[in-house]
Chains A and B, each alone.
Chain A
Amino acid sequence: DVKVTQSSRYLVKRTGEKVFLECVQDMDHENMFWYRQDPGLGLRLIYFSYDVKMKEKGDIPEGYSVSREKKERFSLILESASTNQTSMYLCASSPSRATYNEQFFGPGTRLTVL
């Protein structure tokens, strides 16, 4: 089975801190994604990556950056956390760019910024 793991289930940070959210997949997938999920707004795509060192902006990239130095790992970085970044963050991976490929999601990280 494909496994997507995220470094923490729950995280509490203070405003202005630099925050790293880590995601690892174990199935040699090419694509990886970061979403955030908020009540009433659903899941929104922040960034995605088609390959190592490649990144593409999603729908809401402001305030975030990403890093993909190895194929299996995709990191989401909040350079200076703010309270409006309190959210559930979900990572996903898929085998390739084909539009029919399913995405496999991790369990999520619930981030609270105080």
Chain B
Amino acid sequence: DAKTTQPNSMESNEEEPVHLPCNHSTISGTDYIHWYRQLPSQGPEYVIHGLTSNVNNRMASLAIAEDRKSSTLILHRATLRDAAVYYCILTDGNKLVFGAGTILRVKS
């Protein structure tokens, strides 16, 4: 399975942008990069995914390096409700292989 590396934790101030990095140096040409997050006491929820180009949706933006060996999830204005564990995942067929993720803390 392709592996990802994320920082254990990050902290942000409310209303400020947050950049969550992910390294995936062994990514293959057909792997999609997915981001999920898990709020306390809930199941994971999908945030965004991409293959080669940068992607935007209502929740976040995904910036993918040209060589695809790293990516960054961007939350444009962090809120207290964005405090969660964020997982960067490379798809293995239709299977998601979750790592430890990054714990995002948001300070008011």
Contact = CB atoms under 8 A, between A and B. Distances in A.
Interface residues of B, number: 22
A42 B44 contact: no
B49 interface: yes
Contact of A92 (B31, B34, B43): B43
A42 to B, nearest CB: 5
A64 interface: no
Nearest to B85: A42
Given A42-B100, A42-B101, A101 B43 contact: no
Contacts of B91: 99-100
Contacts of A25: none
B4 to A, nearest CB: 12
Interface string B81-108: 0000000000101111111110000000
Contacts of A100: 32, 49, 51, 91
Interface residues of A, number: 25
Residue with the greatest number of chain A CB neighbours at <10 A, chosen from B44, B94, B95: B94
Given A42-B101, A100-B49, A102-B34, A31 B43 contact: no
B16 interface: no
Nearest to B1: A59
A103 B49 contact: no
Given A42-B99, A42-B101, A100-B32, A90 B93 contact: no
Given A31-B94, A42-B99, A105-B44, 17 more contacts: A35-B98, A42-B100, A43-B44, A43-B96, A48-B94, A92-B43, A92-B44, A97-B93, A97-B94, A99-B30, A100-B32, A100-B91, A103-B44, A103-B96, A106-B43, A108-B42, A108-B43
